[in-house]
Structure 1
């Protein structure tokens, strides 16, 4: 889906991050990756993070799809994104 369905660009001054696995059939295979790239490219502060793998719910430790390395990296990026000082 094109970003234009929601407006001309991501709202100014609002940071955005997109996280997904590079071989996830839902994220990479169904067009979500293309949409994520559009959003990130249109944002003043946008970042796209791709992790190696094919799982969709890779950050949930209660699921068999959990990937501890990717989840740790995703969660290490979250405080900086939210502006939390540790």
Structure 2
């Protein structure tokens, strides 16, 4: 099957995050889950964002990059929210990527000082009225540059695919998992 690198969101490697990785493994994929928060998890978004800001974007990017050094080039890069930035950076700058899946956000390619590799398949998943996603300024330019499949789910929640999170939505989460698993099998 497919080798996947899954970057966690700002709340860290929560039980829901680990559960999602385990679902990918149960489908036969090899999944790496780099922890660039040194084992810390947060129950509130406010605490998580505070820690993110305290550590700083550059340091988190360094940690995330160091955590994947030595992995093969031919992987599916996947990230949740904050982790989508790290997955996007790796997919855009490391030759050999199989594809990328961005859960709960993505940036225009130029925001990471590079272009999206021609022909590299990608998916973006998020809720239509998620206050953390800018569909017009971030997702639309990414989709135009990459040709990504973009899936917009009805609702206002952010981490809607994570079991145990206050944002969890079972119907949307089921559809998200179905689409991600199909994509992972297709690119692998």
* Paired residue secondary structure (1:55): coil
Distance in 2 of aligned mates of 1:2 and 1:47: 15
CA RMSD of aligned residues (A): 1.9
Structure 2 residue 153 is matched with structure 1 residue 51: yes
Equivalences, count: 79
Q: Is the counterpart of residue 21 in structure 1 residue 127 in structure 2?
A: yes
> Residues of 2 paired with 1:9 and 1:2: CA distance?
9
1:18-60 deviation per Cα after TM superposition (whole angstroms, max 9, x unaligned): 1110111111xxx2x231221112114x111000000001011
TM-score by length of 1: 0.77
Q: Is the 8 A contact 1:19 1:48 kept in 2?
A: yes
Q: With structure 2 as the length reference, what TM-score do the two structures score? A: 0.38
Which runs of 4 or more aligned residues in structure 1 lie more than 4 Å from their structure 2 counterparts after TM superposition?
Answer: none
- What SS class does the counterpart of residue 125 from structure 2 fall into? strand
Which has a greater percent of helix? 2
Match of 2:165 in 1: 63
3-state secondary structure, aligned to 1:81: helix
